[in-house]
Structure 1
Amino acid sequence: MRCPSCGISVEKGVQFCPNCGHNIDQASTITINSEDVLPSENVYGVLKKILRQPSASKHLTPNHLPIGLISIAIYSLLVAGFIYYSMKSISSDLQSSFNDLGLGSVLGQSVEVSFFDYFLLPFVGFYALQIIMILLIYILAKITGEIKDLRTLTAQYGAYLFPFSFIFIVGVLFSVLNLSWLATVALLIATLGVIFMLPVILTKSGIENAGDGTDRVYLLLIIYFIGVLILSFVARTYVETMVSSFINNITSIF
């Protein structure tokens, strides 16, 4: 039989899973079909199945942790890359405006877009934000009595990020095509959707009370509040840093 929490094979009669510590009760043990548990050694096959059927992410085990971490990195790279691209575009537009005003030859330099400020910092910030979200969901699972292995949760979280990464790419394409409204909708779904959807997807469905009397709805609201608070703090910090740096670059030209 297999552990209902992480999906690894365990010997019959064992009370606790040797991998994640889940309490395996003979009366409530769920036998998982071997076809549902995704093999960790076939990375290409796992990614192919997840992209084709995102709900298959729930079958990932601690052995798939690298896939989750890589997916989180890809998502963070997309966000950071879009920020860097946007700032480069703004810089180019400003330089064009200077040229139109006949100031290009006088200024003799363009507005610099720092790779560190506009790419590396956002990448680190959004990667850290995803790790914090995983920890918040893990705490929620503990409070509601759902014993989840942190490695399994990280792998599943990263796998569920793939659809949001795809939507983010679509939003960037809309932006390049100057379809501003569609780009805004897609980018909002790709960012806020991670905060509002993944905690629900990664925890049990339904509205039930936890063992200590704490209602799951309130716990989810707390997760949402903290997630949005952190996102707004990170966004405000980076916006202030980027705007300040950008203004300094412009004033240095004069």
Structure 2
Amino acid sequence: MVIKNPNNIYVPDYLDGNFFVAALEEGLREIQVTVKEITFEWGSNPGDNYCSRIYRVLIAYERLVDDDEPPIQEQRSLIVKTIPISKDTRFLEDVGVFLKEKITYLDVLPRLQILVDGQKFGASCYYAIKAPTRTIVLSDLKPEGFVVASRQDQLDWAHCELILQQTARLHATSMILAQRDPDIPKRLVDGMLCEKSIMKSDSFKQMFGITLKYLANNAAEWLGFEKIAQKLRRFNDNFKSISARLSDHR
């Protein structure tokens, strides 16, 4: 097996041949897969993902169809999302972000797609593990013509309209699923922006409140912004209670 890393990016040791054999056999529902070549590159631009590392991994492999026939040679591009838990991102672990993402990809989206005659709402999930690092393997949508839009450039009208249409379709279909399976919403009620998570976790303010503190300190040095800086500092002092009140969907 050949492993290529042309840009010499950081790749954790556990993302090896055995990992991708397991991912392909699980995702493709195949009995035996032999990985021949793995090529790593970053799957997103620096700064696009604050709490995870995204890899685009091109895999050349063989899959055994029948003992009497030679294996079929194929190539597939995957997106590998790793979520290392550190002191700064412990909040994500506390609110079960990885578990909810796993439930969404493996349980919710496939059932939603059945309700709309197979139309896709997103990438397909091949594989997900909890240890040694929370990791999820998804199909790569780039070969189908999709690209990640720049955060700095505004979308044109056609893309904005498309996003609203697809979001509305996702929401409407999810309401049908919620009626048919009331247990699904119960597992997805709590999250990052709910009162319980905000008030009980110190990590929430550490992750999201620090920028407000810096803004208040900077504004205090701007001529004519003294009162605004005072207001920002009051917001920062009451960050949890204000955020909890804003998170109440009622």
TM-score scaled by structure 1?
Answer: 0.30
**Structure with greater contact order relative to length (CA < 8 Å, sep ≥ 6):** 1
| Structure number having the greater helix percentage | 1
TM-score scaled by structure 2?
Answer: 0.31
| Structure number having the greater strand percentage | 2
